[in-house]
Chains A and B, each alone.
Chain A
């Protein structure tokens, strides 16, 4: 108990220290307005759940969509927004970011909180690294990205991803689920790991066998940790039922893994090559983990496998250059269409840590230019990511009862030239000011 109290105090100290640090680059995101009753009238509504409504009304109240349809009565006292000439879409979900965890990746280490030291950090939570004043948040939301998955990276067990609404002055105000998913970056087969670490390991290893031996050792360590967590969970349950048993020692690391090994918390497994994806799925099945693939560059090569195993993919590489010289030039642009054809559940993500998350709509648009239907492109950034994370009861379409995350535009949501006119997150009207509009206002008329 004494140890725990010290940890607690250290935690509070860390939080206190984090406040001025978070503010050091400025506070860019204006807070959203209150949750009131709003009525959006005369708008073209694209509910995604069903056919478009040429001219309809949406009523929002207490953060939720209260009603939607062609003939919905505007409640007395509602703030009315005339949507004539405008379109309403469900807010987009970028399920592949680390938004708020890293402000400036190069030359400003103090703004980077995306990775922990060491290989196994299941208790590192994106929620605690989140800077609600990150300029990336404002810039991403004004294109219509209303909620995101932000995940830690690095090591093997990177930590826990959070589901965040992109509005709020504090992490608790933004978090929809601070413990959304566990992130595992399995070491790649044939190389010692990922990124520079993997590159270095590959350089240092005298041959492939050494590399694979290292990998096997890492996988064994991960397996052992997962088994320990399973045992820990059982021990704690037993003690909860029968207090006469010896009181087991608390362990925050193992405790944080229990929902994962019980299949209650999904696991985001980062893999791009077909062999790595298969390895990840195999590892997940062996350990009874509920796997979601992140990356998925070559998933199109193994659609039957992914469909058979019912594994969804968060694809991050639509805009990437092909990796092999003889790949078709549009191999990555066209990958989502092949996943759709093959019946694989997927979502398109920006694949960006934060600042470029705003390219999400154009990424989905690019997939549509190369074979995906426009409807599917829209679903791949709204409904499908919500379904993959089991939050389609709250997000992804414009239906009564869902969280009022809506974007109101003057054109097709996925087109680069389209302007956002209004933005609702969590039933609050969000100002469209960003770091960029501030600087634009400040300098555009400078003589």
Chain B
């Protein structure tokens, strides 16, 4: 009897603990998923009396913007709100397109499949974490669309994902509908692993891997595209024979490594090439010319200014840093005038963050380009909006405030090129995903919730706990 009751009371306490744990987990998920309750419905919204920075059609003062069905429906003075529309008085505020960050590693649970140098078969969309809290923090910086790229450990890193930051949704909800697929390439120190002794944890060494020089890099790329061209020839031949009505053919074996490279050769997948030094970027452009494809964008392109004419001639865009430099050898000649020089040579140039931190203040980075290189306000804003949309191939949908475009917008309390500005609200497809006032209003409630959780028995130091903690099963879960 005694033994039985002991077991029963243990079971009871176990159940209690499990219930408590479930409560804690639910509460914790509320805490971490800050915006899940923020996003509001897609009904009509009228933003009134704002200074509207359209980016492509100048600055419109005292202007209203009507959002309907997730699109920008009307722009002009004194618009009439449809019945039931939410009206936002934006007097004294600035409305700009949602910021586009063309190069980030936000919400990715993995970046490099570093075991091989050519991993065109792997996909970022398989490792997206839609609950990453940094998504919310980017929204608070006015960012609405990003491309999440693989890292730069590989010559060919994998297939990137362009997403809208619809926090609260699933990863597949966030994929930008219709955005062209892309493939990450990389050149330079990261690929040749010249810094790997420092990247490795202490006591570990990273094995050398081909390519270990800029010579090998070119060869790896040439080899991959040569194989891709052969593969394409095989497929094309097969298709031609099928089209001619031949029967009982054995189809070529599908090659997941070469398929995306064939798409690059055919122009249906955009090549995004990480490069710092002028020589390596020029090598890539020439190699692309040899194989008859276009490099869509040079990522970072820090020495792009040294070969601006060649980049313009090839027709590549550049996604650059505003002013990061000197953190490694190949970044020592990076200059903040890079974007301006490229733009004056006719290159579509955007700023990228490459960082969850910097992604939150791309507006300040854009303002720096007015100092370094003398860009106008519209040119500076273009580097974080419409130019990025062009690089991502979604310029018909986002990147400027124009009738018919997606209602991806950010509303600021001050001119967004001012360091004194912060974001009031961020919209994607007309839905509100960030509201500073609502965020602030929730803070007391969250602080209380946190305090309660901290008081919970399970969160006490072992010595202070009231109940004996059950041993959790080791294997079966």
Contact A436 B195 (CB under 8 A): no
Q: Which of B70-78, B82-90, B133-141, B219-227 contacts A (4 or more CB under 8 A)?
A: B133-141
Judged by a CB distance under 8 angstroms, whether A81 is at the interface is: no
Cβ of B195: which chain A residues have Cβ within 8 Å of it? Answer: 106-107
Q: How far is the CA of A191 from the CA of B371 in the complex (A)?
A: 43
**How far in angstroms is the closest Cβ of chain B from A208?**
10
Does residue B55 face the partner (Cβ distance < 8 Å to A)? no
Beyond A200-B202, A321-B137, A355-B326, 19 extra complex contacts between A and B, CB < 8 Å: A104-B329, A106-B198, A107-B328, A107-B329, A108-B328, A200-B203, A326-B450, A328-B440, A328-B443, A329-B34, A355-B327, A365-B420, A369-B420, A369-B422, A440-B305, A440-B373, A444-B305, A446-B306, A446-B308
B419 touching A25, Cβ below 8 Å? no
A136 to B326, CA, bound (A): 9
Given the interface pairs A106-B327, A365-B420, A366-B419, the reply to whether A439 lies near B335 with Cβ below 8 Å is yes
Asked if B336 is at the interface (CB within 8 A of a chain A CB), the reply is yes
Whether B419 contacts A106 by the Cβ 8 Å rule is: no
Q: Is A310 an interface residue (CB 8 A)?
A: no
Task: Find the residue from A319, A361, A439 having the highest chain B CB count within 10 A.
Answer: A439
- Of the candidate stretches B39-47, B172-180, B229-237, B356-364, the one touching chain A is B356-364
Decide if B32 touches A325 in the complex (CB within 8 Å).
yes
Q: A106-B198, A368-B420 are in contact. Are A418 and B371 (CB under 8 A)?
A: yes
- B362-406 vs A: 1/0 string, CB under 8 Å? 001101101111000000100000000000000000000000000
CB-CB under 8 A for A326 and B31, given A136-B326, A355-B325: yes
Of the listed residues B332, B368, B422, the one surrounded by the most CB atoms of chain A closer than 10 A to its CB is B332
Decide: A415 and B306 in contact? CB cutoff 8 A: no
- The answer to whether the Cβ of A126 comes within 8 Å of any Cβ in the partner chain is no
Q: Pick the contact of A362 from B32, B189, B364 — CB < 8 Å?
A: B364
For the complex, is A135 an interface residue (Cβ under 8 Å from B)?
yes
**Chain A interface size, under 10 / 10 to 19 / 20 to 34 / 35 or more:** 35 or more
Q: Is A72 engaged at the interface, CB distance under 8 Å to the other chain?
A: no
Q: Is A433 an interface residue (CB 8 A)?
A: no
Q: Does A415 lie within 8 Å of B367, measured CB to CB?
A: yes
Proximity bits, B321-347, A CB within 8 Å = 1, else 0: 001111111001101110001001000
Which chain B residue shows the least CB distance to A106?
Answer: B328
- A417 and B371 contact, Cβ closer than 8 Å, known pairs A322-B137, A362-B419: yes
> How many whole Å from A256's CB to the nearest CB in chain B?
29
Which B401-460 residues sit within 8 Å CB-CB of chain A? 414, 417-422, 439-440, 443, 446, 450
Shortest CB-to-CB span from A447 to chain B, Å, is 6
Does A263 count as interface, using CB distance less than 8 angstroms?
no
A107 contacts B194, C-beta separation under 8 Å: yes
**Complex contacts, B367 vs chain A, CB 8 Å:** 415-417
Decide: A370 and B422 in contact? CB cutoff 8 A: yes
Asked if B309 and A447 make an inter-chain contact with CB atoms under 8 angstroms apart, the answer reads yes
Chain B proximity of A420: nearest CB distance (Å): 9
| 6 closest Cβ pairs, A-B complex | A365-B419, A416-B367, A355-B326, A417-B370, A440-B337, A106-B328
Query: Which B residues lie within 8 Å of A330 (CB)?
Result: 140, 422
CB <8 Å contact, B344 and A444: yes
B332: chain A residues at CB < 8 Å are 25, 104, 135
* Contact-residue bracket for chain B: 35 or more
Question: Does A298 touch B at the CB level, under 8 Å?
Answer: no
Q: List 21 A-B contacts (CB under 8 A).
A: A107-B189, A108-B328, A319-B357, A326-B31, A328-B440, A328-B443, A329-B34, A330-B140, A358-B323, A362-B419, A368-B420, A369-B420, A374-B420, A414-B420, A415-B367, A416-B365, A416-B368, A416-B370, A417-B370, A440-B337, A443-B341
Asked if A419 is an interface residue, CB under 8 A from chain B, the answer is yes
What is the bound-complex CA distance between A414 and B333, given in angstroms? 26
Name the contact of A414 in the complex, choosing from B31, B368, B419 (C-beta under 8 A). Answer: B419
In-complex Cβ contact of A444 among B134, B341, B368 (8 A): B341
The reply to whether the CB of A285 lies closer than 8 angstroms to some CB of chain B is no
B306 touches A443 (CB 8 A): yes
Flag A163-196 by CB within 8 Å of B: 1 or 0 each. Answer: 0000000000000000000000000000000001
A82 in the interface (beta carbon within 8 A): no
| A282 contacts across to B, CB distance below 8 A | none
* Contact status B329-A108, CB under 8 Å: yes
**Which chain A residues border B327 with CB–CB below 8 Å?**
104-106, 355
Q: Which residues of A311-338 are within 8 A (CB) of B?
A: 319-322, 325-326, 328-330
* Number of interchain pairs (Cβ within 8 Å): 136
- A439 in contact with B305 (CB, 8 Å): yes
Q: Please, how many angstroms separate the alpha-carbon atoms of A106 and B332 in the complex?
A: 11
- Chain B residue nearest to A358 (CB atoms) is B323
Using known A-B contacts A196-B202, A366-B361, A417-B417, determine if residue A325 contacts B326 with beta carbons closer than 8 Å: no
A155 to B434, CA, bound (A): 43
Whole-angstrom distance between the Cβ of A289 and the nearest chain B Cβ = 31
- Within 8 Å CB of A417, what residues of B? 367-368, 370-371, 380, 417
Asked if A376 is an interface residue, CB under 8 A from chain B, the answer is no
Give every chain B residue within 8 A of A368 (Cβ-Cβ): 419-420
CA distance A121 to B151 in the complex (A): 38
Q: Report Cα–Cα, A25/B202, bound state, in Å.
A: 28
Cα–Cα distance between A330 and B308 once the two chains are bound (Å): 38
Given contacts A104-B326, A107-B328, contact A416 B417 (CB under 8 A): yes
A415 vs B366: C-alpha distance when bound (angstroms)? 12
Per-position binary interface string of chain A over residues 105-116, scored 1 when its CB falls under 8 Å from any chain B CB and 0 otherwise? 111100000000
Contact of B439 among A135, A200, A329, A369 (CB under 8 A): A329
Q: How far is the CA of A87 from the CA of B373 in the complex (A)?
A: 21
Which of B198, B356, B371 neighbours the largest number of chain A CB atoms within 10 Å of its CB? Answer: B371
Contact with B along A126-148 (1 / 0, CB 8 A): 00000000011000000000000
Closest to B199 in A: A106
For residue A356, CB closer than 8 A to chain B, the reply is: yes
User: Which of A136, A366, A419, A444 contacts B371 (CB under 8 A)?
Assistant: A419
Complex CA gap A196/B361 in Å reads 28
Asked if A416 contacts B333 (CB within 8 A), the reply is no
Question: Within the assembled complex, what's the spacing in Å between the Cα atoms of A229 and B408?
Answer: 63
Residues of A within 8 A of B309 (CB): 446-447
B337: chain A residues at CB < 8 Å are 436-437, 439-440, 444
